[in-house]
Structure 1
Amino acid sequence: METNINSFVSAEKQIINSIEKLSGSYTPYVIFTDWVKMMAISIQNSCTIHNKLWDTREKLYLDTVKKYNSGEVALFCKMHGLLWQLYQEYGIYDYLGDIYMRSGAGSKMTGQFFTPFHVSELCAIIRLKDVKKDENIKMNEPSVGGGGMILASAKVLCDKGINYQKNLEVVAQDLDWNGVYMTYVQLSMTGIKAVVVQGDTLAEKDYSAEKMLVTPAKIGVLL
Structure 2
Amino acid sequence: MSRRTRPPNGQPYVKLFNELTYRFSPWEVWKDFIVMYACALANPFDKVHYEAREDLYLKIIHKYNKKEQELFPQLAAEVVNALEENPEQDFLGKLFMDFELGNRMAGQFFTPYHVCECMAKMTVGNILPQIEEQGYISINDCCCGAGATLIAGIHEAKRVLDGKLNWQNHILITGQDIDRTTALMCYIQLSLLGAAGYIKIGNSLTEPMSINDTSEDYWFTPMYFSDVWTFRRLIKGKTLL
Which residue of structure 1 aligns with residue 186 of structure 2?
Answer: 183
TM-score (norm: length of structure 1) = 0.85
Aligned pairs for 1:156-171 within 5 A:
156-160=156-160, 161=162, 163-171=166-174
SS in 2 for 1:46: coil
SS in 2 for 1:209: coil
Counterpart contact for 2:183–2:201, Cα < 8 Å: yes
Shift in Å, 1:84? 0.9
Uncovered stretches (5+) of structure 2, i.e. residues with no partner: 1-8, 228-241
TM-score (norm: length of structure 2) = 0.79
Q: CA deviation digits over 1:177-202, x for unaligned, max 9? A: 11221111011001111111112222
Q: Is residue 2:102 matched to residue 1:106?
A: yes
Aligned pairs for 1:1-223 within 5 A:
10=10, 13-49=11-47, 53-106=49-102, 108=104, 111-132=107-128, 135=131, 136-160=136-160, 161=162, 163-204=166-207, 205=210, 206-220=212-226
Q: Distance in 1 between matches of 2:94 and 2:40?
A: 22
In structure 2, the CA distance between the partners of 1:19 and 1:107, relative to structure 1 (3 Å rule), is farther
Q: Distance in 1 between matches of 2:33 and 2:93?
A: 13
Counterpart contact for 2:46–2:220, Cα < 8 Å: no
Shift in Å, 1:176? 1.1
Counterpart contact for 2:200–2:219, Cα < 8 Å: yes
Counterpart contact for 1:29–1:104, Cα < 8 Å: no
Q: Distance in 2 between matches of 1:133 and 1:66?
A: 51
Instruction: Please tell me the residue identity of whatever aligns with 1:143.
Output: C
Counterpart contact for 2:137–2:170, Cα < 8 Å: yes
Q: CA deviation digits over 1:57-85, x for unaligned, max 9? A: 11111111111111111111101011111
The structure whose RCO (Cα within 8 Å, separation 6+) is larger is 1
Counterpart contact for 1:180–1:196, Cα < 8 Å: yes
Q: What is the percentage of aligned positions where both structures have the same residue?
A: 27
Q: Distance in 1 between matches of 2:193 and 2:88?
A: 7
Shift in Å, 1:119? 0.8
Q: Distance in 2 between matches of 1:38 and 1:219?
A: 20
Shift in Å, 1:138? 1.0
Uncovered stretches (5+) of structure 1, i.e. residues with no partner: 1-8
Aligned length: 209
CA RMSD of aligned residues (A): 2.1
Shift in Å, 1:111? 4.5
**Structure of higher CA gyration radius:** 2
SS in 1 for 2:109: coil
